Amino acid sequence: MKQSHTSIGSFNLYSIEAGRFRLDGGAMFGVVPKTLWSRYIDVDDNNRIHMAMRCLLIESKNTGKVYLVDNGSGTKFDEKFEQIYQLDYEHSDLLNSLDYHGFKPEDITDIIFSHLHFDHCGGTTYYDENGDLRHTFPNATYHVTNKQLETATDPNVREKASFLPDNINPIKNWDKLNLVGAHHQYEDGLEGLPVNGHTLGQQLPKITGENKTLVFAADLIPTHVHLPLPWVMGYDMYPVTTLEEKEKYLEQAVEQDWYLFLEHDADQEVVTVKKEKGKFAADDKLTLSNISG
């Protein structure tokens, strides 16, 4: 599968496909009835929808840093887990996607975690042929918010299943772990926008350059179908907070012509947003390569 790239300001941006999986459509759309959401997204016989694990590689021309935002689910699963989530690495996988753009795991200097649910950080580590846990990106500094690490290491019962010890402990104990606060500035033109509705301490990397802005939407807006304000995931810990955050950032997206990079949308990689009669919806549907440098 051809994967796209572009430049914004002092950054080269690359779409990194780390595989596909499926999640329950009812959980993905919360209180929205299936009769509504199924008009816009395909669903299988088990009520699951197709999901991407689309990461973003950010190469800084100013600092030489190579950031990877999230890294998919990884491969540390038994057959039962793979069947439940229909993990699909035939479509794409993390290492081949990096290689497609000319990068090796050793080239990654920094990993920015939007948050630490399994489908966002599982690729950080892998089991070698001896069954030992190894770090995929040996030279990378890991960036995660204080609040998210605190949440991941002491989760509530409802969220516990998304924070797997084999994912969290190696990150927590990594000697190059950098805990950041809300709204962290990584360098000029790259910052993390704070969001707390889906899980406490999520951050959305925002890339700004000249007259263009791209925001990695993570799980605030997992697919373009989730753009309407009330279409909030059942997975969100604090749905009212999600509503407030969506309205705040979507207003900015309309006013400032943001590009939204969609991590989980199986069909749409990037969208712009319009507001008509008080409702938000996708305007242009693009890939990174459609965004002129």
pLDDT in tens, 125-136: 999 999 999 999
Q: In this model, does residue 2 exceed pLDDT 70?
A: no
Rounding to the nearest 10 degrees, give the CA dihedral for residues 182, 183, 187, 189: 160
Structure tokens at 141: 């500094």
Residue 185 is assigned to a structural domain of this protein = yes
Question: How many domains in the chain?
Answer: 1
Residue 293 is assigned to a structural domain of this protein = no
Residue 149 is assigned to a structural domain of this protein = yes
Beta strands in the chain (DSSP E): 5-8, 11-24, 48-60, 66-69, 110-112, 125-127, 133-135, 141-145, 177-180, 185-187, 190-195, 202-209, 212-216, 259-261, 270-276, 279-286
The whole-model pTM stands at: 0.96
Confidence at residue 1, expressed as pLDDT on a 0 to 100 scale: 52
Residue 54 is assigned to a structural domain of this protein = yes
In the block, residue with structure tokens 């919360």: 30
Confidence at residue 78, expressed as pLDDT on a 0 to 100 scale: 85
- More confidently predicted of 84 and 64: 64
Confidence at residue 84, expressed as pLDDT on a 0 to 100 scale: 87
CA angle, corner 49, sides to 46 and 51, nearest 5? 140
Percentage of the residues of the chain whose pLDDT score is greater than 90: 94
Please name the residues in contact with 176: beta carbons below 8 A apart, sequence gap of 6 or more: 140, 141, 142
Residue 218 is assigned to a structural domain of this protein = no
Confidence at residue 149, expressed as pLDDT on a 0 to 100 scale: 98
Q: In this model, does residue 171 exceed pLDDT 80?
A: yes
CATH number of the domain enclosing 148: 3.60.15.10
Residue 164 is assigned to a structural domain of this protein = yes
* For residues 177-183, average pLDDT: 96
Percentage of the residues of the chain whose pLDDT score is greater than 70: 99
Residue 20 is assigned to a structural domain of this protein = yes
Residue 31 backbone dihedrals phi, psi, to 5 degrees: -80, -5
Range of weakest confidence among 50-54, 77-81, 137-141, 235-239: 77-81
pLDDT tens digits for 39-60? Answer: 999 999 999 999 999 999 999 9
Amino acid symbol at 33:
P
Residue 284 is assigned to a structural domain of this protein = no
Structural domain boundaries, residue 99: 5-212
